[in-house]
Amino acid sequence: MSILVVGSVALDSVRTPFGEVEEALGGSATFFSVAASFFNRVRMVAVVGEDFPPEYLGFLRSRGVDLQGLQVVPGRTFRWRGYYDYDLNDAHTLETQLNVFEDFRPAIPEEYRDSEFVFLANIDPVLQSMVLDQVRSPRLVLCDTMNYWIENKREELLETVSRVDYLLLNDAEARQLAGEPNLIAAGRKLLEMGPSRVIIKKGEHGVIMLGEGTFFSLPAYPLESVFDPTGAGDSFGGGFLGFLSREPEMTEESIRRAVVYGSVAASFAVEDFSCRRLSALTREDIEARYREFMEITCF
């Protein structure tokens, strides 16, 4: 089953209490693809500038990512510079250079339009809708978003949300989009907006998934040190859709297992800067942590 991601590829400069990196490989489409690559090939639609380091392209190819939809255009690649304090929950942005990302219009190559699993990473909801106009009949569309779009493009976002299958957001975004402080009640409100599932990421507190008549709650993997939280949510998406795209059927059980694989990917992603930890993994590492999740949650 084929997977398509539309999102950003970026050069991230990040500082945390544990170190810093300059112009490391980042972006939502990147983290998603690398996490999903342990399960399946990913077709990537994104844009970079002509300054994009060839070794990063080589790295993505080595992960089996299909780059036919990656536009390389004149100009500079999207750059983000930020830092995290000790609580590591809030990213503080120092500088955002949209550069070539400013004029990004997702063009889905003909060969990608039959994609069965689609991840709409966190981009302008108008662009997300544009993607939906181009894909034929995906089995599952998973959609991410962020506070900026909730505040500034609420109507457009609601339109997109009404067209997707699963909505993925963090707890603050869920409360904000639903206009409801209680997270469970917020999740129920979001379900009424169209998606059949709402997956709410709670960082160090794990993740909950709501659906019609079903509720799943998974704690986070217990990490003694979180190195850099950048990309955790997109890595979750990659583990989630990657696993699910290989399942013969989408059952309650397989969807829950996908949430665990998403959490496994996210827990690895935050253990180092950029994709370093993810790219050093084997599938067996992933399975071992999956078994650890079973061990720490069973009763």
Nearest distance in Å: CB 290, a copy of itself: 10
Which one, 113 or 256, has the nearer CB to a copy of itself?
256
Chosen residue from 257, 271, 272, 279 binding a copy of itself by CB under 8 A: 257
Strand order through the sheet with 19-26: 19-26, 10-16, 79-84, 91-97
x/- letters, 193..212, toward a copy of itself (CB under 8 A): ---------x-xxx-x----
Which one, 75 or 219, has the nearer CB to a copy of itself?
219
Dihedral-angle region of residue 222 (phi above 0 means left; psi in -120 to 50 means alpha; beta otherwise)? beta
Which one, 152 or 182, has the nearer CB to a copy of itself?
182
- # residues near a copy of itself by CB under 8 A: 34
Give Cα 46 to chain centroid, integer Å: 14
Q: Percent helix, strand, coil in the chain (nearest 5)?
A: 40, 25, 35
Residues 208-237 that bind a copy of itself (CB under 8 A): 208, 215-220, 222-226
- When asked if residue 191 is in the footprint of a copy of itself (CB under 8 A), the reply is no
| Alpha carbon distance, N-terminus to C-terminus of the chain | 34
Nearest distance in Å: CB 185, a copy of itself: 5
CA neighbor of 13 nearest in space, from 78, 57, 100, 85: 78
Paired tokens of 277? 């930890």
Torsion, Cα 158 162 165 168, to 10 degrees, reads: 10
Task: Judge whether 163 and 137 are in contact, CB under 8 Å.
Answer: no
x/- letters, 76..95, toward a copy of itself (CB under 8 A): ----------xx--------
- When asked if residue 272 is in the footprint of a copy of itself (CB under 8 A), the reply is no
Q: Check residue 137 and report its DSSP letter.
A: -
Which one, 64 or 206, has the nearer CB to a copy of itself?
206
| Contacting range for a copy of itself; rule: CB under 8 A; set: 52-60, 75-83, 147-155, 254-262 | 254-262
Residues 16-75 that bind a copy of itself (CB under 8 A): none
Beta strand 79-84 with 19-26 is unpaired
SS3 193: coil
Nearest distance in Å: CB 39, a copy of itself: 17
Which one, 164 or 259, has the nearer CB to a copy of itself?
259
Beta strand 197-201 with 207-211 is antiparallel
Which one, 223 or 280, has the nearer CB to a copy of itself?
223
Phi, psi (degrees; rounded to nearest 5) at 19:
150, -170
Which one, 136 or 299, has the nearer CB to a copy of itself?
299
Q: Cα–Cα distances in Å, from 153 out to 13, 17, 160, 179, 220?
A: 27, 34, 11, 15, 31
Q: Check residue 9 and report its DSSP letter.
A: -
Nearest distance in Å: CB 195, a copy of itself: 18
Which one, 6 or 208, has the nearer CB to a copy of itself?
208
- When asked if residue 296 is in the footprint of a copy of itself (CB under 8 A), the reply is yes
Task: Judge whether 289 and 46 are in contact, CB under 8 Å.
Answer: no
Q: Which residues bind a copy of itself (CB under 8 A)?
A: 86-87, 181-185, 188, 202, 204-206, 208, 215-220, 222-226, 253, 256-257, 259-260, 294, 296-299
